[in-house]
Amino acid sequence: MPRVKLDKSLAEDLITSKMRVLQQYIDEILNRWNESSSKKFLEKARTGIHENAEDDAIELRQLLADYTNLQEILNKL
């Protein structure tokens, strides 16, 4: 993978900006299902309490994985 030099503060700003966008998407999904916790929503989707939530649950899992990945990158800076 090619490497690019980037000022640390700019990298932090870009990563935190992306994390804010991901958090907005996460919040939209949770609000759609009147949930305050990702964990609770995913459990209710898995057990069928939230019918037809499979697509949102898949999307939420990916958003959470992306968010976690960005957190790890930010911590390594």
Phi, psi (rounded to 5 degrees) for 23: -65, -35
Residue 4: the pLDDT is 83
Residue 2: the pLDDT is 86
Q: Give the side-chain half-sphere CA count within 13 A for 23.
A: 8
Residue 53: the pLDDT is 98
Residue 70: the pLDDT is 98
The model carries a pTM of 0.91
Burial class, 53, CB count within 10 angstroms (exposed 0-12 / middle 13-18 / buried 19+): buried
pLDDT in tens, the chain (77 residues): 788 888 999 999 999 999 999 999 999 999 999 999 999 999 999 999 999 999 999 999 999 999 999 999 999 99
